[in-house]
Amino acid sequence: MFKNVCLIIFCFLILSASAQAVTIEWWQFWTDPGVKPTVEAIVDEFEQANPDINVKLTDLTWANGHEKIVVALASGRGPDVLELGSDWIAQFAESGHLLDLSDYLAKDSSEFHGYGMAAYKGKLYARPWILGTRVLFCNRSLMIRAGYDSIFAPVTMDQLKEAANKVHALGDDIYGWGSNTAEKHRLYKKFLPFFWSYDARLFSDDNKLCLLASNASVQALNRYKELHDSCGYVANQRGIEDAFLDGKIGFIISGDWLLKRIEKEKRDIDFVTTLIPGLKFPGRSFLGGEFLAINSATKNKDAALKLIDFITLPENQVRFCKANRSANPSSKAAQEDEYFKSNSHLQTFIKQMSMVKHPPVDPDWVNIESIIEEAVEDALFGSGLPAQALYEARLKIEALKKK
Amino acid sequence: MSLRPSSNLALSSPWLITFVLFWLFPLVYSLVMGFTDYQLLARSYNWIGWDNYRELFIDPDFLAALKNTFVFVLGTIPVTTVVALLLALMVSRRFRGRSFFRAGYFLPSVTSMVVIALIFTNLYQRGGYVALLTELVGLTPPEHGFLYDSSTALLSIMAMDVWMSVGYYMLIFLAGLKAIPEELYEAAELAGAGRWRRFWSITLPLLRPVALFIVVINTIKSFQVFVEIFVMTRGKFDTATVVYFVYEQGLQTQFRFGYASAASYLLFVIIAVFSIIQMILLRRRQSVW
């Protein structure tokens, strides 16, 4: 009799415990076999630490993840926690699909880089997770063949131009500069470092005037075009990186994924990474990244916040960065880890983080970037002069803003 | 034994429900959406009448996409039809290895468009085989590759499309050729008709229904060109077509479903008008033949 009572009580306890457990869904983009197990391990540990929370992990791809999120949010469903690209936050915040996390996130905002990209109309909507910037990759062998010291790396735009042309002079099949073709969502990330390094601005402080056609902007596009015309190897990002790894290009702008590729494919290439060149000193690079946000339709806000806190813990960010060879965790504490300090290339990325800018947090940014890319394409591949192309782009952006 | 009307309805209900839910409803719904400012992420939407259609006619991106689509259609259909007919005439004759050629020409039609587009992207790049062939005949290929130049990008995609689809239409022509009675050729030969005369007076007129079918389905298919553009250029270098425009508007930028729906229905009207004109013209020509 006693045994039966104990059994009933035990079953009751199990049932009541499981009834209290909540399940939250997290949509994320890390499907790489080298990274996914780490993400799963972090989630497993979270569940062990929080037995009342179950996490349902759903993978998205960069090819159609954005569409899936939009459709899910528009239908009023969607996951509790979302991994979002920095460019999407304003769009979803504007449409009211993200939870305002200002009160919760503001208290530890000084511990993370990149909160500027999550702030829209004075409110915080997401926590930065893994950030991404671009640096200059230089083929040292080609630089030495072109007459430079082994410790040389261009610091200014003039040095870059001179070095790229000297490298190009080495042979018909050697190019000084990797020039991106009209590749959507990529071309602007290559042009904006030039743009910002020339101190050009997209908008006035009050965000009302578009400054895309300023003298500084035209100078930046002129310099970008000079490199393209004089010694550019034109291809998409993958093609440029292929050619760089094959020793055909002297200088390219790329991200930390290239370090991962060099290591993974065991590429025998003598290269250095350095900060994006500027006018007199190193310039400014592009900043973007992955953010964790909460669907405004969630019924499990507390559990979702706990998950975000756990994923973005410094030690978990370091684990993730090691698995993905990412160079830029958002956590300032994570950046102090020995893993980053012991690698000179990762250090370049971390140093570049202090000289970066991110695009404006604007729901129309996807359209604005498209207009900027069209202007750059027109200047590089069409018949348009840089000044004319930027002026027309400015008119288009102003018309878009008026809408 | 005949079934009662209610039994007929019950038996056809699975198809009927599927048709209404997944075909008819989306069609009518998207038609209605074309008259609204519906955006996927917006909480509400308004009835705006013909505004979307009015905007389309002054939207430079749509007009450019429409122009590219017409260039694609008018450039590929005549070439595809003529080449397919020539190939069909060639492989309908008896010669050694005929099956090999038939299979060879047809093979691209059963290959994934994405795979073919990726292969051609490589062939068209700077230093690729097409560039080498161009140099061999004494011409200068585009500096950065065929797909990175506005003057050659769309033409390159059109050439690939002709190469890919010609085998399929060849097979349909071949079926049409087989259906022509051999006696007609024998009688014409006895009457002293040469090969050219037999082709003009027998083959071509009797292939009319097949040609009509090919031209109409190829027109519909060509007006809807998308995958090639998506994979090879993403609409860059003056290659965006109407369907790519719909995709961009509906799923890539502002998620303007209302506007994208209006563009889709405009394309539907254009395709319908073109198909009707083609049918009328080809029927008239039959009476001449």
Is A73 in CB contact (< 8 Å) with chain B? Answer: yes
Q: What is the mean pLDDT of chain B?
A: 90
Provide CATH code, domain B42-288: 1.10.3720.10
Q: Considering only CB atoms, which chain A residues are within 8 Å of B125?
A: 235, 239
Low-confidence ranges of chain A (pLDDT < 70): 1-20
CB contact under 8 A, B40 and A377: no
The pLDDT value recorded for residue B1 is 57
Q: What is the ipTM of this complex?
A: 0.72
CA Rg, chain B, in Å? 24
Closest Cβ opposite residue A381 in set B125, B149, B253: B149
Whether residue B286 has pLDDT greater than 60: no
Cα–Cα distance measured from residue B206 to residue B209, given in angstroms and rounded to the nearest whole number: 7
Phi, psi of A28 (to 5 degrees): -140, 165
| Stretch B226-235: mean pLDDT | 92
pLDDT band at residue B275 under the 50/70/90 scheme: confident
Residue ranges and CATH numbers for the domains of chain A are 2-132+287-357 (3.40.190.10), 135-275+364-402 (3.40.190.10)
Give, as one character, the DSSP assignment of residue B141: P
- CA distances B26 to A346, B40, B47, B223, B261, Å, are 51, 15, 18, 21, 11
Q: Show residues of chain A in contact with B126, CB under 8 Å.
A: 234-235
Domain boundaries, chain B: 42-288
pLDDT at B195: 87
Q: What is the pLDDT of residues A191-237, one digit of tens each?
A: 999 999 999 999 988 777 899 999 999 999 999 999 999 999 988 89
Q: What is the pLDDT of residue A187?
A: 87
- Give me the residues of A, 354-373, that contact B with CB < 8 A: 366-367, 370
Q: Nearest-CA residue of chain A relative to B38?
A: A74
CB < 8 Å from B in window 198-217 of A: none
CA A328 to chain centre: 9
- Is A323 at the interface with chain B, CB within 8 A? no
A 214-253 residues with CB < 8 A to B = 234-235, 239
What is the CA angle B116-B121-B122, rounded to 5? 105
Which pLDDT tens digit goes with each residue over B116-127? 999 999 899 888
| Interface mutation vs chain A, best among B59, B121, B255, most A CBs within 10 Å | B255
Residue B192, pLDDT > 60, answer yes
At B165-188, the pLDDT tens digits run 999 999 999 999 999 998 999 999
pLDDT grade for B145, boundaries at 50, 70 and 90 = confident
**How high is the pLDDT of residue B289?**
47
pLDDT value, residue B3: 63
